[in-house]
Amino acid sequence: MIRRPHDSLRDLQRRLRQRTPPPRPAAPWRDTAPERTVAGWLAELDIVAVAQYPLTPTLAVDFAVPAARLWIEVQGTWYHGDPATCPPDRLNHSQRRKRVQDAALQRLATRWGWRLLELWEADLTADPAGCRQRLAVHLGLAPWESLQATLRRRVTLPDGRRLEVAHGDLTSETTAAIVNAANARLAHGGGVAGAIVRRGGAVVQQESDAWMRQHGPLAAGEVALTGAGALPCRAVIHVVGPVWQGGQPTAPAALAAVAGAALDRAAREGFDSLSLPALGAGRGGFPLEQSATILVQAALAHLAAHPASSLRLIRLTDLAAPAVAAFLAAFDRRLGPPTP
């Protein structure tokens, strides 16, 4: 059941007991397809939620679930644009205002002890089942493990450390950290980087912008570390991958250096597990076979060179079936086919 502001005196009293600001007059209800979809899911799950929940005189969230202390914001994608052409310092007024609103939501959620779940219209259209499952997980109706990728291959080394291949969504990984193939401006607008911000929340982009202001553009081989927001992992390691450029002789070594830098940073932070996608194979233009081979070799080289490393698990995870097939082929070439 969806309750809107001022439904009853009891609703008002409950909000006051939870030490949230007094409600303002209800904002016009955005009766759009994404909001109706989320409202339908909440009704199906028998969840009591308040629609257009007022937070401040100028800010409201699409849905609030008091029992789970969860805010749900349905986000659009119109203001992002291509990250390569829309750096933070060149946002227009509407884009900048939306970034400010996103930041305010995250700050209020942290201050008042609520969690913020952002469901993006693009994801609601492309993967409604996955979005509904994430909603159920954040409501406490399903375990985080239900979002995990499917394990396709595991190799356990003599010292107990593991190297794995998994088919699934990087943003659902429960490893201590994940690796993001970012651009130099850390403007996460599309691809895996965009999904990380959409599902982790605006705080990931805010911390990336703060890193940019302090350090400048992220150079190739350099690493930036941010929090993970609402993602199940603890941190995101951002790297800028090299460009294939028709197979430049230095490209494979550059990609190996980037992967090694991410692995080294994870170990320095004391993380026990790390998930990496097919770095370089997207905008970088690396052939999947090359990317997979380099990443498998980099992971094995790190484990061999650092026997005391905190990393006990390195997982190669990708949502694209061709990338997973390339990882499996690289495993077979380097470690031999799996035993029956």
Q: Give domain status of residue 273, yes or no.
A: yes
Does residue 266 lie within any of the structural domains?
Answer: yes
Q: Domain holding 126: CATH number?
A: 3.40.960.10
Digit-coded pLDDT (tens) for 179-236: 999 989 998 866 788 788 878 888 898 899 999 999 999 988 899 999 999 899 999 9
Pick from 85, 110, 138: which residue ends a domain? 138
Q: Are 254 and 300 contained in the same domain?
A: yes
Q: Is 313 exposed, middle or buried (0-12, 13-18, 19+ CB in 10 A)?
A: middle
Residue 48: name the closest of 63, 35, 28, 31 by CA: 63
What CATH number does residue 230 fall under? 3.40.220.10
Q: Does residue 312 share a domain with residue 170?
A: yes
Distance CA 276, CA 200 (A): 17
On whether both 47 and 171 belong to a single domain, the answer is: no
Number of domains in the chain: 2
Please check whether residues 194 and 105 belong to one and the same domain: no
Residues 263 and 315 in one domain: yes
> Quick check: is 267 in a domain?
yes
Q: What is the pLDDT along the chain (340 residues), one digit of tens a residue?
A: 454 554 555 554 565 555 444 444 444 445 568 888 999 999 999 999 988 888 888 788 889 999 999 999 887 643 344 333 344 454 455 555 666 676 677 778 778 888 888 787 766 876 787 788 889 888 988 876 666 678 899 999 999 999 999 988 899 899 999 999 998 999 886 678 878 887 888 889 889 999 999 999 998 889 999 999 989 999 999 999 888 877 778 889 999 999 999 999 999 999 999 999 999 887 788 999 999 999 999 999 999 999 999 999 999 998 888 889 999 999 999 988 776 5
Would 144 be classed as within a structural domain? no
123 and 47 within one domain: yes
Q: Are residues 169 and 99 in the same domain?
A: no
206 within a domain of the structure (yes/no): yes
**Residue 243: HSE in the Cβ half-sphere, 13 Å Cα cutoff:** 6
Claim to verify: residue 200 and residue 306 sit in the same structural domain: yes
Give yes or no: residues 91 and 174 share one domain: no
Domain, as residue range, for 168: 149-335
Residues 206 and 271 in one domain: yes
Among 93, 116, 138, the domain-final residue is: 138
Of 109, 138, 167, the position where a domain reaches its end is 138
pLDDT in tens, 55-74: 888 788 889 999 999 999 88
- Whether residue 312 sits in one domain with residue 255: yes
154, 121: one domain: no
Residue 143 lies in a domain: no
Q: Is residue 340 part of a domain?
A: no
